[in-house]
Structure formats: C-alpha cells, structure tokens
Amino acid sequence: MRNILTPMMMPHRLIMAALALAGLTAMALTMQWDWLPANLPRLWDGLLMTLAMLAGSVVVGFALALPLALFQVMGPAPLRWLSLGFCTVIRGTPLLLQLWLFYFGLGALFAQFPEIRDSWAWPYLRQAWPYGFLALTVSFAAYQGEVMRGAFTGVPHGELEAARAVGMSPWLVFRRVWFPRALHRALPTLAGEIILQLKSTPLVATITVTDLYAVITRIRQTTLLTYEPLLLLVAVYLCLSGILILALRWLENRVPTQR
C-alpha cells in the first residue's frame, strides 16, 4: 500500500487536493444542499444498483469472455467463427441499442409465452434490471473477449513449452501458466475497461432501472435544481473510478514482470 500512498504526498498532488477542498467548501457554502438528507436512502439504493450492475456485469462478463477468447485462439473452426462474429457484432453496435433490443424486444417476446409468464422466472423477467444486466454483461464479454484473445496469444510460447516439458497436463498449463500470465498482461487494459463499464451503467436508466443516475434525475425533477445533484453524481463517479484505479494498480504491482 505504501508505494501507492507515497506518490500522493508529492507537492503538486497536495496543491491539487487543496484546490479541490477549496472548491468543495465553496460549493457547500454557496449552493443548496437541503434536499440531500431526505434523499440519502434513495441515493444509497441507487448507488447499490449501480455497483451491482457494474460488479455483476464485470464478473459474469469476464467469465464469458474467457471461452470467447479461447475459442478464437484455439477452438474448432465453427466455434472460432461464432465467437469472432459475436464479438464483432456486439462491439460494432451501440450499447444503447442492445439495451433497448433486449428490454423492448426480448421482454415483449417473453411476455407472449404463457410458459414463461407462469414460470418462477417471470417475477424477475418482468422487471427491467435483468435486461440491463444482460446487455451490460454481453457488452463487457465481447470487449474482454477481444482483450483476452490478445493476451492469450501474447504469452511467450517458450513459457508454455517449459510448462509442458515438466509434465503438466494441458489443463494445468492453462491454470498455472497460460491464464495467469494472460490475465496479468491484460490487467492494465482491463482496468481501463472496467472504468468504461462504470460509465456505461447510467444507460440502464433509459429502460427504467433505478441506478444512481436515475435517482439523481428524479431528484432534479422534484427539486428543480440543475447543478447540485449533477455535481454529487460527478463526485460519486469520480470516487468510484479512483478506488477502482487504485485497486487494480495495486493488483498489477504485485507481480513485477516485463510485458
């Protein structure tokens, strides 16, 4: 942890922190924040929804990205083309469009089947968040599939050969050398992609999922305030990005390696 904290004590950082503090004080004194206490519970729920969307789509999306990447690297031709096609289509179309297609298209389609309407899943499927989660997950999987494909092919062949030469099974080679090496190579990119994913989550507000952005929008409508709620939103997203960046950098620094 020390190697992250010490650079923060550099003079220019301290000056920037002081400026930020001054700005915050000015905001607190001159702007109107009386709506905040009453709305805290809703804001908290919104934050939790945003975090759930982010964490869920990142974890599940990454799990899906691995087979997508591996099929492209060494799969049989049909699976290779399928994965490549999937990644290309998803990456080549706007997330907003996918979100709407899933929510309005898939949602309406499900509603037409009595089997689905009567099933245990229906109470979930009639809500908006599963579609938001699905769209975010699929999108993350497609981008990470591409990142991991590059990372897997980038692991030097000799390292894998050395693993085979000591008698590792293909699965052991994957688990002990290929995957950890690829993951480490991909971490810097992955960190950026997770930040991007965070900034994609507000799109789910367009299909009525009440994430933090949706809550803020509603507060703006009821209080008729323009800037204050948005400033809060900015502050929260900045904090989340900052925490993510620090956490991922720490992870990266645990293994010194040339890439």
Partner 1 sequence: MDDKPAIRIRDLHKRFGDLEVLKGVSLTAHPGDVIAIIGGSGSGKSTLLRCINMLEHPTSGQIAIQGEGYRMRPARGGGLEPADRKQVQRIRAQLGMVFQNFNLWPHRTVLENVTEAPIHVLGQPRAQAIDRARQVLARVGLAEKADTHPIHLSGGQQQRAAIARVLAVDPLAMLFDEPTSALDPELVGEVLGVIRDLAREGRTMILVTHEMAFARDVANRVIYLRDGRIEEEGTPEQLFGDPQSPHLKQFIRSVM
Residue ranges that bind partner 1, judged by CB under 8 A: 156, 158-159, 161-169, 172, 176-177, 180-181, 184, 255-258
**In angstroms, what is the minimal distance from the CB of 153 to partner 1?**
17
Query: Minimum Å distance from CB 107 to partner 1?
Result: 44
Pick between residue 181 and residue 210 the one whose CB is nearest to partner 1.
181
Residue 252 Cβ, how far from partner 1 at the closest point, in Å? 12
Report the distance separating Cα 205 and Cα 212, nearest Å: 9
- In this complex, which beta carbon is closest to partner 1, that of residue 161 or of residue 208? 161
Question: Which C-beta is closer to partner 1: that of 27 or that of 168?
Answer: 168
| Least distance to partner 1, CB of residue 144, Å | 20
In the bound state with partner 1, the residue whose beta carbon lies nearer, of 11 and 158, is: 158
Q: What is the closest distance, in whole angstroms, from the C-beta atom of residue 186 to partner 1 in the complex?
A: 13
* CB-nearer residue toward partner 1: 79 or 183: 183
What are the φ and ψ backbone dihedral angles of 50, each rounded to 5 degrees? -60, -50
